Amino acid sequence: MTPTAPPVLPTTPQIIGGCRDRFRPRRPTPPPGPRARPPAPRGHLPRGRCPVNELKVTDLTVKFAGITALDHVGFTVEPGSIHAVIGPNGAGKSTCFNVLSGVYRATSGSVRFGDAELTRMAPHQIAALGVARTFQNIALSKFQSVEDNVMLGRHRLTRAGFLGAGLRLPSARRENARHRARVRDIARFVGVAEYLEAPVGMLPYGVQKRVELARALAMEPDLLLLDEPVAGMNGGERRAMAEVIMAARADLGISVLLVEHDMGMVMRLADQVTVLDFGRRIAAGPPERVQRDPAVIRAYLGEQAADEQTADEQAADEQATDEQTADGDPGTIRDRRDGRAADERENA
């Protein structure tokens, strides 16, 4: 008697897939819609919506075991602006960023983004509001490709569930294709398109910093937090990164808050600057005014440099007054002539 082969049973995915195809309702053919928009030009992204939410930090205080890292710090990032936070090492800049992104909890104070209070939110909740950040130390998956690293930024925008993605349902495949197309656009925008298939760990440091920026932009943020974006870069890489940041503000309409030690870059990019020293705000305003502030000079260069700056400003003011007098201010000339006459009578 010839033995018969045992029946071949379908696997679980085959059963689920067969049920899906059997009972899925037939959709009517949709009417022809508008023609698809052509892809964005190389190096540019479609303009995003203008941000409407301001970031308002009020009396922010952070203490660690009796050490005050931030002491009643306050500033406002206007929608669509580039705002820089600067200061010497240990001034509290990164601590401020960690509070804004939910990594640290504030001891007191308020951080509001639009109508949302951020001080009691977890990082993923803050990210869901449209706040993205880069880190002072590169935080990328070294063994994954550039494309996969940037795709991580699309996580908050993904609608396909775990089951749909695991079964590779048509809706999940279409969504994945849309996300990868957007990732390629962003890679061209920041200048890393040629490295999409390369493992991140094999790339130069400056390219890795741009990949991290691309991942943050992949979240489609309204507010971008950049923690020392050009640290460790050479001059050419710094200029290229500055151009990308300015283009991101212009093309995507996002607000940018950055911490940076490169004062040339800060003065070139920032609309407003907040200066911290030992956890306190010591100056705030436009870059040109902050650059000449004696408190800022004292924090960076010491007391003697601040005194020299003050003396130089006083000398400049006196020179301007003398020039005005030489131009013929009658009252001042008469006062000086009378003074010289009095001196001559006294000497006689």
Neighbours of 43 (CB within 10 A): 14
**279 in any annotated domain:** yes
**23 in any annotated domain:** no
pLDDT at position 319: 60
Give whole-number Cα distances, 125 to 14, 76, 153, 275, in Å.
37, 21, 14, 28
Length of the chain: 348
Give me the half-sphere count of Cα atoms (radius 13 Å) on the Cβ side of residue 264: 6
**303 in any annotated domain:** no
* Same domain (yes/no): 60, 113: yes
Residue 43 is encoded by which pair of tokens? 């190096």
Instruction: List all residues 6 or more positions away from 281 whose beta carbon is below 8 Å from its beta carbon.
Output: 73, 74, 75, 274, 275
* Same domain (yes/no): 226, 89: yes
φ and ψ at residue 55, rounded to 5 degrees: -100, 120
* Same domain (yes/no): 163, 185: yes
**320 in any annotated domain:** no
Alpha helices in the chain (DSSP H): 12-23, 93-100, 123-128, 146-151, 162-166, 170-190, 205-217, 235-252, 263-269, 287-291, 294-301, 303-326, 330-347
* Same domain (yes/no): 263, 238: yes
Last residue within a domain, chosen from 297, 319, 335: 297
Taking alpha carbons only, the member of 227, 260, 50, 206 closest to residue 133 is 227
Domain that holds residue 242: 48-130+221-297
* Same domain (yes/no): 198, 84: no
294-301 and 303-326 are packed helices; what angle lies between their axes, rounded to 10 degrees?
140
* Same domain (yes/no): 123, 227: yes
* Same domain (yes/no): 115, 95: yes
pLDDT at position 1: 52
Residue 113 is encoded by which pair of tokens? 């983004």
For 116-131, what is each residue's pLDDT tens digit? 999 999 999 999 999 9
* Same domain (yes/no): 59, 107: yes
* Same domain (yes/no): 182, 122: no
pLDDT at position 160: 72
**156 in any annotated domain:** yes
**148 in any annotated domain:** yes
pLDDT at position 137: 85
Last residue within a domain, chosen from 218, 249, 271: 218
CA 232 to chain centre: 17
Q: What SS3 class is residue 230?
A: coil
* Same domain (yes/no): 240, 208: no
pLDDT at position 97: 94
**55 in any annotated domain:** yes
Last residue within a domain, chosen from 183, 218, 253: 218
* Same domain (yes/no): 231, 208: no
For 56-112, what is each residue's pLDDT tens digit? 999 999 999 889 999 999 999 999 999 999 999 889 999 999 999 999 999 999 999
Give me the half-sphere count of Cα atoms (radius 13 Å) on the Cβ side of residue 53: 18
What's the CA gap between 80 and 55, in Å, rounded?
A: 11
* Same domain (yes/no): 227, 212: no
**185 in any annotated domain:** yes
pLDDT beneath 50: ranges in the chain: 5, 8, 13, 23, 27, 29-42, 325, 329-342, 348
CATH number at residue 88: 3.40.50.300
| Overall domain count for the chain | 2
